[in-house]
Structure 1
Amino acid sequence: MSSDTPVDWEQARALAYEAGRRAAGPAELISLPDADGRTLAEPLRALTDLPAFPTSSIDGWAVRGPQPWRVTGRVLAGGVAAPLDEDGACVEIATGAMVPPGADALVRIEDSTREADGRVRGEPRSAPDWRLPGEEAHKDEELLPAGTAIDPAVIGVAATCGYETVSVRPRPRAGVLIFGDELLTAGTPGAGRVRDSLGPQVPGWLRRCGATVDRSAVAGPVRDTLEAHLEAVRGALSGADLVCTTGGTMHGPVDHLHPTLAELGAEYVVNTVAVRPGFPMLLARVRVPGPDGRPRFLAGLPGNPQSAVIALITLVAPLLAGLQGRPAPALTRVETTTDVPGRGGFTHLALARVDHDGRSATPVGHVGSAMLRGLSNAHGFIVVRPDTKATAGDLVPFLPLPLIAGERP
């Protein structure tokens, strides 16, 4: 695939997702407390009816027949309720307790009175005050599909069902290599050198896409020589499913990424994308000897910070979704509050902030490809298709920035 033929932006996202899906690792069983942030490898099904037995929603009385009722016992949560066999009988019942077989109704404690002889009077409410078996789910019903991102709510559902472990996809391991002799890793920029802003931020984006990134997996700046690039990339790929590099994606005098990939026998999944900003991005598949036989991936992010983030959400986010067995990241739709120009035959991704209503978005300022101020004030990108433009009031596609893995918008 020639760098002279940029891939359509939508197609690039699909290619990256499919590459990840085909390389997804085998499922593994882990305990519920360790499952947060992982991905279901199999559907989560109810192991029994939920609730498994008729369950009281109130504190009060389980009654049978006409009132007044004589009290014959008590049933608390966790206990097994004896049947109510005779009319005119009742038992005291607590919230969450099993409703006795034979009970006709439940009477709330606040709706009841006790007579001098200890018998109970009261009126049940029109809506039953207990939950029936299977009211929430029936045994073997699918509650959540495979590919669901696990968050505390999902863990709670699994625990309610009686699970102790769940089958999940492996969490992809990622590394980051920073290229560029001009970069500073500390201090303020000046005298021809600029501060590296991608090394500190790329790991956070990767974690929001579900990957693990250890501090030791972030390295650089790598010296601007082919030998140094080869050594760094080989080392990073030995311990990661995905390595993200920053800069060097073009063919300048100190851009050694393409020669490095050639030396490694890499296969391009995508080599440049028809999108502005960020078109000189790439994703390559690299065969690294290992016991699992699975390919590794290298994502080449442009050196300009906003372009690098666009490459992340264009290629890396779909790849990581595929590797985890999750659905591909989806576009939403918003109403643009202002005109947004097109970029000819390229897709235009315009940084924008979603308004409080969640239905409309306003482009932000300071959006040069080398700038980060606009990104820090944005929620994502308005997507303007090739050879089109967006007019104020139009309903347009919107690509959100990644949330923390499993986080609900």
Structure 2
Amino acid sequence: MKSKIIRKRTKLADARELLLNSFTPPDSCETIELNDSCGRVLAKDVIAERNVPHYDRAAMDGYAVRSSDTVSASDSSPIILRATDEISEGSCVRVHTGSAMPPESDAVVKIEDTSHKGDLIEVHTQVHPGKHVGYTGEDIKIGDKVLDAGHFLRPCDIAMLASIGINIIEVYRKPVVAIIPTGNELVKRPSQITPPPGKITETNSLMAGMYVSKWGGKPQYCDIVPDNPELIGQVIESQLNADMILLCGGTSVGERDHVPDAVDSIGKILVHGIGISPGKPTALGVINNIPVICMPGYPAAGLVCLFEFVRPSLMKLAHINKIRTPPLQARLDRKITSRIGYVTYTRVRLENGNAIPLMTSGAGIMSSVSRADGFVVIEENVEGYEEGEIVEVELIE
């Protein structure tokens, strides 16, 4: 058995880079219905096979005209045209936004630039050819590349794809994340019975799985594994069909903390001990091109690990290049401190533009996470922030 002393504390940025450089994302794809494609990533370029619009259309409510019939029209000297069903010299046709342009017409006079007396229409402004007309292919032409491979599909993108007649789309497969909770103290949920002293309800896999789903992955839940290195190793090996393995608990240096050694016996531990608080015992590894993230059992530490390591790894696996939501700025309600050498995550609540600190320590206090709106992240070379300072708050999704 290897020594469980955490011999080296790796900087956060270095640890994340080591992890992300240790694997390559799979290229496996699937074809799905367009209606189910929100939040997925295109696997191939999309080439338009239909013009948008596919006909010449009116872009305003009004009258379709021959522009040459409106020369010199003005409020003081309107041109009079006759409203008919077809365009000819001296006539016009009533159209609505989106109406097909009648043959021989080349412009639209807005309804507010006209007045009428029966079927006689007074035109109060001159229009040039193409005025208020949307021509065939003006938006998208057949053969245009409308979206690149790797594009993260949003509702507006999906609506655009529907407009060119696409009903199915090829996307990258959702990465499968095996989630393995470990610990003799854990009790499987759901249970209406309060666990006896020394036992707790297992909830880390629930939190982790929901974030995996939110970030574009597919959770693959495993049963609780006791603090037994052989059993932990067996379960890890049984999950090597996944794209990522996430272990919850068993990462510290106690007698029952076997997870990092179990991973190292099958693959390679890249980092054990990271300069983050909470979350120092986090371990990161790789097995056969599969990233393995060993998050601490305390909920607040586990949440930091999810945001800092699971999310970026999952984004890479899913081919998602989406930019993270920028932090909010708020005024600090009171002073907060940190340890030099550690990136510190202070849980805060937001109220009327103020960031109210809840906790810096206390990684096991789950309520401090659920009451928090986000974290104030204190960099490793900063001792803290004073009351009244403007700070950035990373929101808890």
TM category (shorter chain) comes to 0.7 to 0.9
Alpha-carbon distance in structure 2 between the residues aligned to 1:393 and 1:42: 50
2:214 corresponds to: 208
**TM superposition shift of 1:167:** 3.5
The reply to whether residue 380 of structure 1 matches residue 380 of structure 2 is: no
Alpha-carbon distance in structure 2 between the residues aligned to 1:335 and 1:171: 33
After the TM superposition, which of the residue ranges 167-176 and 130-139 deviates more from structure 2?
A: 130-139
1:391 corresponds to: 386
Q: 1:97 to 1:234 in 2, by over 3 A?
A: same
8 Å Cα contact 2:25/2:318 also seen in 1: no
* Aligned 1:244-283 pairs, distance under 5 A: 244-264=246-266, 266-283=267-284
- The residue type equivalent to 1:343 in the other structure is R
Alpha-carbon distance in structure 2 between the residues aligned to 1:270 and 1:328: 26
Equivalent residue in structure 2 for 1:350, among 346, 352, 368: 346
Alpha-carbon distance in structure 2 between the residues aligned to 1:33 and 1:51: 22
The reply to whether residue 220 of structure 1 matches residue 216 of structure 2 is: no
- The residue type equivalent to 1:93 in the other structure is V
* DSSP-derived class of the 1:177 partner: strand
Alpha-carbon distance in structure 2 between the residues aligned to 1:124 and 1:356: 52
8 Å Cα contact 2:106/2:133 also seen in 1: no
**TM superposition shift of 1:203:** 0.9
**TM superposition shift of 1:229:** 1.3
**TM superposition shift of 1:204:** 0.6
C-alpha deviations, 1:248-278, integer Å up to 9, x for none? 11232212212321332x1234433210001
8 Å Cα contact 1:367/1:373 also seen in 2: no
Percent of counterpart pairs with the same letter?
Answer: 24
8 Å Cα contact 2:341/2:381 also seen in 1: yes
Equivalent residue in structure 1 for 2:37, among 27, 30, 35: 35
8 Å Cα contact 1:249/1:258 also seen in 2: yes
Alpha-carbon distance in structure 2 between the residues aligned to 1:30 and 1:330: 26
**TM superposition shift of 1:192:** 1.9
8 Å Cα contact 2:19/2:285 also seen in 1: no
The reply to whether residue 149 of structure 1 matches residue 152 of structure 2 is: yes
* DSSP-derived class of the 1:311 partner: helix
**TM superposition shift of 1:315:** 0.8
**TM superposition shift of 1:242:** 1.6
C-alpha deviations, 1:139-171, integer Å up to 9, x for none? 776665544432322211222244344342211
Alpha-carbon distance in structure 1 between the residues aligned to 2:322 and 2:282: 19
* Aligned 1:154-169 pairs, distance under 5 A: 154-169=157-172
8 Å Cα contact 1:6/1:274 also seen in 2: yes
8 Å Cα contact 1:366/1:373 also seen in 2: no
* DSSP-derived class of the 1:73 partner: coil
Q: Which sections of structure 1, spanning at least 5 residues, go unmatched?
A: 75-83, 288-294, 403-409
1:364 corresponds to: 358
What CA RMSD, in Å, does the superposition of the two structures yield over aligned residues?
Answer: 3.3
2:201 corresponds to: 195
Q: 1:31 to 1:125 in 2, by over 3 A?
A: farther
C-alpha deviations, 1:348-397, integer Å up to 9, x for none? 1122345566xx64433586200122222333322211120233455545
* DSSP-derived class of the 2:336 partner: coil
Q: How many residues align?
A: 375
TM-score normalized with structure 1 length: 0.79
Alpha-carbon distance in structure 2 between the residues aligned to 1:103 and 1:94: 14
Alpha-carbon distance in structure 1 between the residues aligned to 2:138 and 2:278: 51
Q: 1:96 to 1:310 in 2, by over 3 A?
A: same
**TM superposition shift of 1:306:** 0.8
**TM superposition shift of 1:59:** 3.6
The reply to whether residue 242 of structure 1 matches residue 213 of structure 2 is: no
**TM superposition shift of 1:398:** 4.3
**TM superposition shift of 1:38:** 1.0
Q: Which sections of structure 2, spanning at least 5 residues, go unmatched?
A: 71-78
TM-score normalized with structure 2 length: 0.81
C-alpha deviations, 1:7-30, integer Å up to 9, x for none? 21123333334445x223244443
8 Å Cα contact 2:264/2:285 also seen in 1: no
Equivalent residue in structure 1 for 2:95, among 81, 93, 96: 93
